[in-house]
Chains A and B, each alone.
Chain A
Amino acid sequence: MGSAAAQVEAPAGVTLPIYMDNHATSPLDPRVLEAMTPYFTSKFGNAASRNHAFGWEAEQAVETAREQIARLIGANAKEIIFTSGATESDNLAIKGIAEMYRERGNHIITQVTEHKAVLDTCKRLEKYGYRVMYLPVKANGIIDLEDLKRAMDEKTILVTIMAANNEIGVLQPIREIGKLCHEKGVLFHTDAVQAVGKVPFNVMADNVDVASISAHKIYGPKGVGALYVRRRNPRVQISAQIDGGGHERGMRSGTLNVPGIVGLGKACEIAQEEMDEEGRRLEGLRDRLKEKLESELDYVHVNGSMEQRLPGNLNMSFVYVEGESLLMGINDVAVSSGSACTSATLEPSYVLKALGLGDDVAHSSIRFGLGRFNTQAEVDYVAAKVIDIVKKLRELSPLYEMVKEGIDLTKIEWQAH
């Protein structure tokens, strides 16, 4: 048995560690930082100060950002509300609509692979007497529209289904979902955090009424997000969840994070200009990574649809190798795993389990999140490194040995603990 230590050398031009976890967060684009900097120092005004130049300057910057965001998603600037991030946006959208439309109904529909910001918000509403339907997903991670149709009843006020999944990158059919909602007079909210700036997303074409957006997933700063709230056909009303000075048309009080908002706006402007080309490049890198891994390793499994997927996402299970031990072997590469051992709850990924994967396959999964600053040389290094470590860990894996001997692991009476 050879050493599991690093034996793959980093080529020239590759700096370690490599960041390949862009669904968790993304590095700030230097152009975004440049746009933000003056708003920390000389242009420090409060955008709500109406009676002096410092305030006007800040307000002008905020309005420019509002337009940049609106342009990227096909909205009107007046329909953009700033928040502290997508978790707040999801909370505001779902709780705000539930509260506002309580007299019309108490039924909400979502699906099982949503982000916890949506699922836990829905769970809280259940405690307050709302009924929530959690739709299942098919093996490819996508909901069945027939399930959605059947789930809708006369008390349904809201459907909240994400545009792109943060773990497996799968794209939900939001255009069809939105169409169905509009036919039934039901509001449609989408957590669009992973989709905006990565794939075409247009609130008009996609029939979206409310959408959550985050800055730090699109090379902007952390701690700032937005909520798109449709003003016409239908005009969506949302009950504020934070009370105070009545900022953001009364929907979200609190002094605006002007530098953060400027950063979000700039990030959206760059995304709009570069999305098509960047998407093609990332898809090429992603497919290159996948092909390299599949050509060198057996028992690898892509989780989620390859067709309806974010260009930068690859989620793969390296069966018979436990995810955390794999991460330990590639500790100069930042990726994440669906393994229980890497989560705070010690449970394997609920998203992967929702696809019908066994816990053992979920434990073996790695999420590669490619982004703007990843290069082909990095992809080649990561592929070589993963191949090397998986092979070594399989030499160590009793399960791999048993499968190679033709033993059916499902027939063994495991001593579960």
Chain B
Amino acid sequence: MAYSDKVVDHYNNPRNVGTLDKNSTEVGTGLVGAPECGDVMRLQIRVNPETQVIEEAKFKTFGCGSAIASSSLATEWVKGRTVDDALAIKNTDIVKELSLPPVKIHCSVLAEDAIRAAIGDWKKKNGVGETVASPFAHGS
């Protein structure tokens, strides 16, 4: 499989790799995917309680190069946005940015799920709105 230059760049230089304190009330954690499916993404955000702006985002991903690139890109995109703005990120945006082929679209779906799960976790911790469940059920 040939990878796009952007996928290769994120794979070689992944942005925002790391771990935030999942017990902090400012931090939301999304853990999506499953080891037996070959991809697991963990995306974490630290949200400013005053402004609801995502000030920090970290990820770790077990998965193929496209899964790593999708989650790396997701951390870049959510940083600096408010949580509501971040929810507007769609998997199709990731597909377009990384030029993912059809067999890798599920990687982008997983990244969108991870964003939603992390924000949902933060909202739950802070009693903001209701937990946002992913409307995207995707086949394996």
The reply to whether chain A is a binding partner of chain B is yes
Decide yes or no whether A358 CB sits under 8 A from chain B.
Answer: yes
User: Which residue of A has the minimal Cβ distance to B109?
Assistant: A417
Complex CA gap A342/B3 in Å reads 13
Would you give the shortest CB distance from A280 to chain B, in whole angstroms? Answer: 37
Q: Are A401 and B19 in contact (CB under 8 A)?
A: yes
User: Which residue of A has the minimal Cβ distance to B10?
Assistant: A4
Would you give the shortest CB distance from B139 to chain A, in whole angstroms? Answer: 7
Decide yes or no whether A396 CB sits under 8 A from chain B.
Answer: yes
- How many residues of A are counted as interface, with CB atoms below 8 angstroms from the partner's CB atoms? 34
Most interface-central of A398, A400, A409 (chain B CB within 10 A): A398
Q: Which of B37-45, B92-100, B121-129 contacts A (4 or more CB under 8 A)?
A: B37-45
Pick the contact of B61: A328, A341, A398, A412 (CB < 8 A). Answer: A398
Q: Which of A335-373 contact B (CB under 8 A)?
A: 339-342, 346, 348, 358-360, 363
Decide yes or no whether B34 CB sits under 8 A from chain A.
Answer: yes
Decide yes or no whether B60 CB sits under 8 A from chain A.
Answer: yes
User: Which residue of A has the minimal Cβ distance to B43?
Assistant: A398
Would you give the shortest CB distance from B118 to chain A, in whole angstroms? Answer: 13
Q: Are B11 and A325 in contact (CB under 8 A)?
A: yes
Q: Which of A298-350 contact B (CB under 8 A)?
A: 320-322, 324-325, 328-329, 339-342, 346, 348
Residues on the B chain within 8 Å of A415, using CB = 31-34, 113
- A320 with B110: in contact, given A398-B40, A416-B37 (CB under 8 Å)? no
Would you give the shortest CB distance from B30 to chain A, in whole angstroms? Answer: 10
- A359 with B12: in contact, given A325-B63, A397-B62 (CB under 8 Å)? no
Complex CA gap A360/B34 in Å reads 9
Decide yes or no whether B13 CB sits under 8 A from chain A.
Answer: yes
Decide yes or no whether B65 CB sits under 8 A from chain A.
Answer: yes
Most interface-central of B38, B65, B113, B138 (chain A CB within 10 A): B38
Decide yes or no whether B80 CB sits under 8 A from chain A.
Answer: no
Residues on the B chain within 8 Å of A409, using CB = 35
Q: What 1/0 flags go to A387-400 for Cβ under 8 Å of B?
A: 00000000111111
User: Which residue of B has the minimal Cβ distance to A348?
Assistant: B38
Decide yes or no whether B68 CB sits under 8 A from chain A.
Answer: yes
Q: Are A1 and B64 in contact (CB under 8 A)?
A: no
- A322 with B36: in contact, given A1-B18, A328-B11 (CB under 8 Å)? no
Q: Are A320 and B37 in contact (CB under 8 A)?
A: no
Residues on the A chain within 8 Å of B31, using CB = 398, 412, 415
Pick the contact of B68: A396, A399, A401, A416 (CB < 8 A). Answer: A396
Decide yes or no whether B17 CB sits under 8 A from chain A.
Answer: yes
Residues on the A chain within 8 Å of B39, using CB = 322
Complex CA gap A409/B40 in Å reads 12
Residues on the A chain within 8 Å of B138, using CB = 417
- A4 with B64: in contact, given A340-B38, A360-B36, A416-B140 (CB under 8 Å)? no
Residues on the B chain within 8 Å of A5, using CB = 12-13
Q: Are B17 and A1 in contact (CB under 8 A)?
A: yes
Decide yes or no whether A128 CB sits under 8 A from chain B.
Answer: no
Decide yes or no whether A233 CB sits under 8 A from chain B.
Answer: no
Would you give the shortest CB distance from B28 to chain A, in whole angstroms? Answer: 15
Residues on the A chain within 8 Å of B32, using CB = 415
Decide yes or no whether A15 CB sits under 8 A from chain B.
Answer: no
- A396 with B64: in contact, given A4-B12, A409-B35, A417-B110 (CB under 8 Å)? no
Residues on the B chain within 8 Å of A363, using CB = 35-36, 38
Most interface-central of A339, A399, A400, A409 (chain B CB within 10 A): A399
Most interface-central of A4, A325, A340 (chain B CB within 10 A): A325
Residues on the B chain within 8 Å of A358, using CB = 35-36
- A339 with B60: in contact, given A5-B13, A396-B14 (CB under 8 Å)? no
Known A-B contacts: A325-B11, A398-B60. Give 14 more (CB < 8 A): A322-B64, A325-B68, A328-B65, A346-B103, A358-B35, A360-B35, A363-B38, A396-B14, A398-B31, A398-B62, A399-B35, A412-B31, A416-B34, A417-B139
B interface list, Cβ under 8 A from A: 1, 3, 8, 11-14, 17-19, 31-42, 60-65, 67-68, 103, 106, 110, 113, 137-140
- Pairs across A and B, CB under 8 Å, 24 listed: A1-B17, A4-B12, A5-B12, A320-B62, A322-B63, A322-B67, A325-B63, A325-B64, A325-B67, A341-B64, A359-B35, A360-B35, A363-B38, A396-B61, A396-B62, A397-B61, A397-B62, A398-B41, A398-B62, A414-B35, A414-B40, A416-B37, A417-B37, A417-B139
A interface list, Cβ under 8 A from B: 1, 3-5, 320-322, 324-325, 328-329, 339-342, 346, 348, 358-360, 363, 395-401, 409, 412, 414-417
